[in-house]
Chain A
Amino acid sequence: MMTRLMRMVALVSGAMAALMLAGCGERPQVIDYKQGKYQGKKDEPPYMAAPYNGNQEQWERDIRNRTQNQNEYRRIGS
């Protein structure tokens, strides 16, 4: 019983120490600035996410067809 309690105390104190030490970590507050270069977050191409999941060909085909919807000579015939 006693050993169990001791183990529990050691575990809790270990976890507490780890938690408190985590607060000591320091993250850089300023960006490493390089003039003339975009340093923001990287953006993924539009076909990478769902529903295309990387199928660039299908995405391009869909966009091309959609663009032609703006052409009434083609959409409804001239």
Chain B
Amino acid sequence: MARMKFLCDAERCIECNGCVTACKQEHDVPWGVNRRRVVTINDGVPGERSISVACMHCSDAPCMAVCPVDCFYRSEEGVVLHDKDLCIGCGYCFYACPFGAPQFPQAGAFGVRGKMDKCTFCAGGPEKDNSEAEFKKYGRNRLAEGKLPACAEMCATKALLGGDGDTIAEIYRQRATTRGKGSEVWGWSTAYGRPEAPKPAPVAPPGGKS
């Protein structure tokens, strides 16, 4: 198995926030923490585009590089995870991450930083798989159940793809080459069919009046 990755198809994302809701519900994520969110560019302008963003499980993760207590590790499947028992909640990873993936629960009256929380690719963390401790700290471990991340599997338009990088890239490639580009993607003709070709003129039967 290669590396697990997410891929969001901006042509398909309809900003429904289904992925965000699926993630929140699946892992019982506390209020104020968003492991995944939908970002819209040129909101309200014709041609706006939305993409769903979470931890991208970078191959050379900057969060891992800057963590002063080295609480990050990469699993066999290429998923970037961390040990919450080691995390000191300093926030360095938040500054380093280009996607704003690390989240900090605002626990307490003064909004002190808690342990960092982020997308786990539904792979739990360094606790016994599918144990209560794992669920409490990191959320559900769907990978150990042979399932893919909830956000990707719940996506109604299948804009968000999750899984083995090579496989999802191939799915996306087939999709992009099949649908074409420009107005062919989501245009009038896609919705209502392409204009029919003009019918050929009726041919008179040989040797007779029509």
Task: List residues of A whose CB falls within 8 A of some B CB.
Answer: 31, 33, 35-52, 59-60, 62-64, 66-73, 78
Contact = CB atoms under 8 A, between A and B. Distances in A.
B144 interface: yes
Interface in B79-97: 81-83, 85-86
B123 A38 contact: no
Contacts of A78: 178
B103 interface: no
Contact of B174 (A43, A67, A71): A71
Contacts of A51: 145-146
| Most chain B C-beta atoms within 10 Å of own C-beta, residue among A47, A48, A64 | A47
Nearest to B166: A67
Contacts, number: 96
B86 A39 contact: yes
B173 to A, nearest CB: 11
A49 B144 contact: yes
A71 B73 CA distance: 31
A50 B163 CA distance: 21
Contacts of A71: 171, 174-175
Interface residues of B, number: 42
Contacts of A41: 83, 85, 126-127
B152 A70 contact: yes
B143 interface: yes
Instruction: Please give me the 10 A-B residue pairs with the lowest Cβ-Cβ distance, nearest first.
Output: A40-B83, A49-B129, A67-B163, A41-B126, A62-B146, A43-B126, A46-B144, A46-B143, A38-B73, A71-B171
A51 B142 CA distance: 12
B71 A70 contact: no
B86 A43 contact: no
